[in-house]
Amino acid sequence: AYTISFAGADEGLLRVVDLEAGEVVDELTGTLGDVVWLGDGKYYYTRLYRSSKTPDGVDPPAERVFLREAGKEEMVFGEGLPSSHFISLKPSSGCEQALLTISYGWASSTVYAGRIDEPGEWRMIYGGDYLAYPVDYVDGEYLVVSFEGEGMGRVVGVRDGKVRLVVGEGEHPIRSAAFFNRKLVLNYLVNAASRLRFFNLSGELVREVAFDIPGTVNSLSSSGNALLFKYESFLIPYRLYRVRENRLELLESSELELKWSYEVEDEWVTLGDGTRVHMFLVHRKGVVLEKILIYGYGGFGVAITPSFHPYAVPLLEDGGVFAVANVRGGSEHGEKWHREGMREKKQNVFKDFIACIESLKAAGARVVAAGISNGGLLVGAVLTQRPALLDGAVIGYPVLDMLRFHKLYVGKAWVPEYGNPDDPKDAKYLAEYSPYHNVRRTRYPPVLIYTGLHDDRVHPAHAFKFAARLREAGAPVLLRVEKASGHSGASPEVKIHELSDILAFIYKVLGLSAPESSA
């Protein structure tokens, strides 16, 4: 099965394909999630129970689990689940158990499980005011990653309501996990880059896999007698690896042909309160670090790890520097790092980003800050708080009106992360940093704001209103509106045009020049 997004909208089309015949045998529309096969043409899938787009100001729906059989669907789990709860679903490796995570916000979740063919008997087995998710069901025991405690992640075994510690918390956070060849495979983040560690069921470390360049392990999963995962980095679109019989094999790779040699540096910036913020610096070897694009996000527990950014490649080839700041609000250093950048502590995120930019500017560099979605909020806040600090700002598909975000599309789902604007206590700190409410008549650097009319997650009105207010204040601002893109992306053709315009803006501000192409 695969899902198609039309013009980058969250809502899409799920197609089920008979691989032997090569034919589409079923189609579903809506905001769809995980699919679990049951055999005989039956399968489970998760879907938001409201089939049409959420109206502005209405509580966003919760997810439900549906059974699809003979072209009909039946809700089998999640009835009565409150608004803004989300479900992930997968089978155990033996396919006898259903393993579910129900999440509310981005800081708490509960784990449910039960025989895969008895959804009416699925019951909560673990969870609380912290994150947790199931790994597998082994020898009558559920293996669960739990972020209870210091928030770095541990693995526990749950059997008949009793919990035992399998792998304790370490100094680095767990990003993902799988079970393979009777080993727990844990993907840790070490300085925001992936490192795989293999443990036996007694919790003993038996193997560690590091990589030749800082990067990110994605899609970690076991399939039969093999462990599969993808790997990417700033200049590596992807590598596909397989572990079989304790051998690591590179199955497939997409490598760029680059004119220069590059290096990835780990930098640390220390704030006045002692907080240390990690930053990646990617650049040609020997280049002067004077024309810098810095990227940040800082929210929802999203770790910004080394990944392939197409627009960064020409920038690097032409002598620019790509920086990534791992500010608070993400999970690069565990769940505590996330919680230090949410709700009333959101200003910490902006302080971290400002400190990183200041460290780059101290050597005389020109700096353009870029962010998308919640990262657009980050750049918008820094722009309005410290406009003289930046040489330029690129703000994409952003959340910018922090007193009305909950009244637009599915914005109410973000209240656990940001706070509730209808609560006077929360509204006070939201108003203090809300970019839209903090534009004033002063000198601003050049600003590019871009959005898409098919964004059904973050309303384009955020971008429209902020651009209008900046223009009213005399700021040099450009607003780019794409008719055929959304929060989940766009077609390659549309994306190429969007990235070309973004790069042209960055090159202009930083004073970069692309080599002339030969006829």
- Tell me the pLDDT band of 426, cut-offs 50, 70 and 90: very high
**Do 401 and 436 touch, CB atoms closer than 8 A?**
yes
Nearest of 357, 385, 281, 285 to residue 323 by alpha carbon: 281
Q: What is the largest CA-CA distance in the chain?
A: 72
Q: What is the mean pLDDT of residues 116-123?
A: 95
Rounded to the nearest 5 degrees, what angle is found at the Cα of 123, between the Cα atoms of 77 and 410?
Answer: 45
pLDDT tens-digit series, residues 142-165: 999 999 988 999 999 999 999 999
What is the distance between the alpha carbons of residues 236 and 255, in angstroms, rounded to a whole number? Answer: 6
What's residue 494's pLDDT?
A: 79
> Environment class of residue 108 by beta-carbon count within 10 Å: exposed (0-12), middle (13-18) or buried (19+)?
middle
- Report the alpha-carbon distance of residue 25 to residue 42 in Å, rounded: 12
| Average pLDDT of the chain to the nearest whole number | 91
pLDDT at 374: 98
Q: Are strands 174-180 and 183-190 parallel, antiparallel or unpaired?
A: antiparallel
Per-residue pLDDT reduced to its tens digit, 432-450: 999 999 999 999 999 999 9
Question: 258 Cβ partners below 8 Å, 6+ apart?
Answer: 235, 313, 317
Nearest partner of 217 among 245, 242, 254, 183, judged by Cα: 242
Kindly report the CA angle at 169 between 182 and 232, in degrees rounded to 5?
70
Q: Coil, strand, or helix at residue 303?
A: coil
Separation of alpha carbons 255 and 313, rounded Å: 12
Strands 392-396 and 447-452: parallel
Query: What is the average pLDDT across 120-128?
Result: 94
Q: Is the pLDDT of residue 12 over 80?
A: no
In sequence order, the 6+-apart residues with CB closer than 8 A to the CB of 218 are 229, 230, 231, 232
Residue 263 parent element (H or E): strand 262-270
CATH of domain 262-510: 3.40.50.1820
Name the residue with higher pLDDT: 113 or 17. Answer: 113
What pLDDT score was predicted for residue 86?
86
| DSSP of 4-50 | EESTT-S-EEEEEEETTTTEEEEEEEESEEEEEEEETTEEEEEEES-
Residue type, position 102, single letter? I
pLDDT in tens, 362-401: 989 999 999 999 999 999 999 999 999 999 999 999 999 9
Across the range 7-26, mean pLDDT stands at 79
> What's the N-to-C CA distance of the chain in angstroms?
44
Interatomic CA distance for residues 107 and 386, integer angstroms: 30
Consecutive H or E run containing 68:
strand 63-69
Question: Counting Cβ atoms within 10 Å, is residue 191 exposed (0-12), middle (13-18) or buried (19+)?
Answer: middle
Catalytic: which of 373, 434, 485, 488? 373
**So what's the pLDDT on residue 401?**
98
Please tell me whether residue 491 adopts helix, strand or coil conformation.
coil
At residue 128, the pLDDT reads 87
pLDDT at 519: 41
Per-residue pLDDT of 349-373, as tens digits, reads: 999 999 999 999 998 999 999 999 9
Q: Are 319 and 290 in contact (CB under 8 A)?
A: no
Evaluate if residue 206 carries a pLDDT over 70. yes
DSSP string covering 448-511, please?
Answer: EEEEETT-SSS-THHHHHHHHHHHHTT--EEEEEETTEETTEE-HHHHHHHHHHHHHHHHHHHT
User: What pLDDT sits at residue 442?
Assistant: 97
Task: Give me the mean pLDDT over the 412-436 stretch.
Answer: 96
Q: What is the pLDDT of residue 182?
A: 92
What is the pLDDT at residue 255? 84
Residue 502 tokens read as: 């973004």
pLDDT digits (tens, 9 = 90+) for 451-510: 998 777 899 999 999 999 999 999 999 999 988 777 766 677 778 889 999 999 999 999
The helix (H) or strand (E) run that includes residue 433 is helix 424-433
Fill in the amino acid letter for 109.
Answer: S
* Main-chain dihedrals φ then ψ at residue 501, nearest 5 degrees: -65, -40
Residue 327 CB neighbour total at 10 angstroms: 31
For 315-331, what is the mean pLDDT?
A: 97
Other CB atoms within 10 Å distance of the CB of residue 362? 8
Least confident of 7-11, 28-32, 114-118, 176-180: 7-11
Q: Is 136 among the residues known to form the active site?
A: no
Distance from C-alpha of 402 to C-alpha of 377, rounded to nearest angstrom: 9
* Catalytic position from the list 176, 455, 456, 485: 455
**CA-CA distance, 324 to 334, in Å (whole number)?**
18
Provide the pLDDT confidence category of residue 518 given band limits of 50, 70 and 90. very low
Tens of pLDDT along 55-105? 666 666 678 899 988 888 898 998 888 777 889 999 999 899 999 999 887
Closest of 502, 414, 429 to residue 459, by C-alpha: 414
Q: For residue 455, what pLDDT is reported?
A: 79
Other residues' Cβ atoms within 10 Å of the Cβ of residue 133: 21
Q: pLDDT band for 517, please (50, 70, 90 cuts).
A: low
Instruction: Mark out the alpha helices in 329-418 (DSSP H runs).
Output: 335-339, 347-361, 374-385, 415-418
Tell me if residue 388 falls in helix, strand or coil: helix
- Residue 489: per-residue pLDDT: 67
Q: What is the pLDDT of residue 516?
A: 65
Which pLDDT value is given to residue 52? 55
For the question of residue 373 being annotated catalytic, the response is yes
Q: Indicate if the pLDDT at residue 8 is higher than 80.
A: no
- Cβ neighbours for 447, distance < 8 A, ≥ 6 positions apart: 383, 392, 393, 394, 395, 470, 475, 476, 477, 478
Hunting for tokens 């918390």 — which residue is that?
169
pTM over 0.85: yes
Rounded CA gap, 47 and 60, in Å? 13
Annotated catalytic, 85? no
User: What local confidence, expressed as pLDDT, does residue 80 receive?
Assistant: 83
pLDDT level of residue 51 (50, 70, 90 thresholds): low
Q: Which tokens belong to 308?
A: 């392939």
The active-site residue, picked from 172, 233, 487, 488, is: 487
